[in-house]
Amino acid sequence: MNKFLSNAGVCSRREADEFIQKGAVKVNDVVVTELGTKITRQDVVTFNEKPVQIESKVYIVLNKPKNCVTTSDDPQERLTVMDLVKNACQERIYPVGRLDRNTTGVLLLTNDGDLASKLTHPSFKKKKIYHVWLDKNVAIEDMEKIANGLELEDGEIHADAISYASEDDKSQVGIEIHSGRNRIVRRIFESLGYHVTKLDRVYFAGLTKKNLGRGKWRYLNEREVNALRMGAFE
């Protein structure tokens, strides 16, 4: 059941399990709450009282702007990433992973639930590169600490690569990391006494924001989609 819902673009497989347990899914007009329920082509599935059908897969990369939340719906009615791509397709797409409200840069949106689950699973390592602006110059000793590894409250973390983003400004840093832990880049620098004033993701799982203005989006090409599906990226 969760695979069917993810393939239909309703949500990721993990989210589908939560919706099933909450009673939001019906099969042939009967609420189903048992995980692992099998269905056939003849079954009629509804989610929140709306019929669910398999959709064409859509893949979009967005250059997320500041003051924009990474969610499908916001109770506070703030600008969401879905507002920026609302005219992109009829299919129900959703963001893969999260960027903080004030973090900008590369964000993937899709209705491919299997791919979304793979890219957000902790065991699936995908390269991310961030451009980080700090409130003061970063000491070379701290750069070395980040490269060698730091102990945070949720375990050790180290950058795969780190360097100054500008020879003339030591308060700007480029950091490459594979971890998907929450607010990891901000927490790395906060642990050393720095405050991140601006954070921009320039690379995610093979995707960049090249030629994309802030707040703009584009469809992925076939080569990019195949690379994501096969994990053919760093």
Which pLDDT tens digit goes with each residue over 144-202? 999 999 999 999 999 999 999 988 999 999 999 988 788 999 999 999 999 999 999 99
Under DSSP, the state recorded for 210 is: T
Residue 185 lies in a domain: yes
Is residue 116 located within the same domain as residue 170? no
C-beta neighbour count of 23 within 10 angstroms:
10
Question: Does the annotation count 100 as an active-site position?
Answer: yes
Contact 184, 177 (CB under 8 A): yes
Residue 209 lies in a domain: no
Is residue 14 located within the same domain as residue 32? yes
From 17, 73, 74, 100, the catalytic residue:
100
Domain count, the chain: 3
Burial class for 166, CB neighbours closer than 10 Å (0-12, 13-18, 19+): exposed
Q: Round to whole Å and give the CA distance between 57 and 7.
A: 8
Sign for the pseudo-dihedral over CA of 112, 114, 119, 120: positive
Is residue 16 located within the same domain as residue 117? no
List, for residues 1-31, the tens digit of each pLDDT value: 888 888 777 887 888 899 999 999 999 999 9
Is residue 222 located within the same domain as residue 112? yes
Residue 94 lies in a domain: yes
User: Three-state DSSP class for 150?
Assistant: strand
Task: Please give the residue range of the domain that contains residue 80.
Answer: 59-123+215-230
Sign for the pseudo-dihedral over CA of 101, 107, 113, 117: negative
Is residue 117 located within the same domain as residue 222? yes
pLDDT band, very low/low/confident/very high, at 54 (cuts 50, 70, 90): confident
